[in-house]
Amino acid sequence: MLEFAEVSFAYPTATAPALDGVSFSLEPGQLLVVVGANGSGKSTLARLCDGLLTPGGGRVLVDGLDTADVSLVWDIRVKVGMVFQDPDDQIVGTTVDDDCAFGPENLGLPPEEIVARVAEALTSVGMDGLERREPHLLSEGQKQRLAIAGALAMGPRYLVFDEPSAMLDPAGRRSAIAIIERLAHEQGHGVLLVSHDAADVARADRALALSGGCVVFEGAPEDLLADAALLRACGLATGSMGVLGERLRALGLAVPVGALEAESVVDALWP
């Protein structure tokens, strides 16, 4: 389990804490979405998960390992994979497979194990056949998938995604979120997804909302999506698809509040 217990954090020059008394837990196999307006503390929370930042107060435990204990940092980083907003920030290899092998090579694994892990990671993000491609020739969506594969090749139990689809086009966004969902629900990773997209909330098992560094909601995604005022306070909008759902419900059609994408609306109307 990845666990935050009363975690607080303040940046050195800031007047207010970025996070204040945040508690939650994430189990393997679970998709937890973290939402909140710009500046609410989401990225700080993500960086605390693997000890990139350590709490000023409270504790972050990864399968019982305390991130504040410097001697445990490598064990923790093997367990928690991070994928950032801009894949260019974390791609280092000259080819796709080289890049994906960077993490496991640093773990000192035997070459045959590295080759197997790279192949498996690239397959699970749908990058078969692109192994020898130079990363700068990939599309943004492919780069983001490579960044995910690089994290996967480390064999983590938990994966933390900090707005992985912010720079993608709509098709790339849908493909990235489908992969993220599969990693949690089919491959059993505990996934923490930071997002500004109400449609991502609908796909999660649980939602956590931050405002001003504090948890203002933790619970079922549909309860968050049904609370328009809270959504707005968290910088989320269901947009014209939210309105379409309302109109369809008013016409007596059974469309759930979480149906915010074309596919989920059509599936609800014609099950």
Partner 1 sequence: MALTLADITCEYAEGSPLSYRALESVSLSIEPGELVLLLGPTGSGKTTLLRAAAGLLPSSAGTVEVDGVRIGVRGAQRAAVGMLFQRPESQFFALSVEEDCAFGPRNLGRSDKDARADGRAALAQVGLDPSTFGPREPWTLSGGEARRAALAGVLAMRPRYLLLDEPTAGLDAVGRDSVAAVIERTRHTAGVLVVTHDPDLLIRRADRVLVMSEGRTAFSGDVPAFLAALPALTATGAAEAPEVLRTLMLAERRLGRAGATPTLDVDEAASSLARMCAEGGVPR
Q: How far apart are CA 19 and CA 24, in angstroms?
A: 13
The answer to whether 253 contacts partner 1 (rule: CB under 8 A) is: yes
Binding region for partner 1 (CB under 8 A) out of 21-29, 124-132, 148-156, 234-242: 234-242
Alpha helices in 226-271 (DSSP H): 228-233, 239-250, 262-269
Task: Label residue 239 left, alpha or beta by phi (over 0 means left) and psi (-120 to 50 means alpha).
Answer: left
Residues 32-71, one symbol each (x = binds partner 1 by CB under 8 A, - = not), give: -----xxx--------------------------------
Contacts of 237-245 with C-beta under 8 Å, sequence gap 24+, read 237/198, 238/198, 239/198, 241/199, 241/265, 242/198
Count of residues engaged in binding partner 1, rule: CB under 8 A: 38
- Identify which of residues 16 and 70 has a Cβ nearer to partner 1 in the complex: 16
- Identify which of residues 86 and 222 has a Cβ nearer to partner 1 in the complex: 86
The answer to whether 266 contacts partner 1 (rule: CB under 8 A) is: yes
CB of 259 to partner 1, least distance (A): 9
The answer to whether 106 contacts partner 1 (rule: CB under 8 A) is: no
Residues 153-182, one symbol each (x = binds partner 1 by CB under 8 A, - = not), give: ----------x--xxxxxxxx---------
145, 189, 196, 206: residue in contact with partner 1 (rule CB under 8 A): 196
- Identify which of residues 28 and 256 has a Cβ nearer to partner 1 in the complex: 256
The answer to whether 241 contacts partner 1 (rule: CB under 8 A) is: yes
Torsion of Cα atoms, 145 then 146 then 148 then 149, to 10°: 120
Burial label for 229, CB within 10 Å (0-12, 13-18, 19+), is exposed
For 103-122, letters b (16+ CB in 10 Å) and e give bbeeeebeeeebeebbeebb
Strand partners, 219: 207
Binding site for partner 1 (CB under 8 A): 37-39, 85, 139-141, 163, 166-173, 196, 232, 234-237, 239-241, 243-244, 247-248, 251, 253, 261-263, 265-266, 269-270
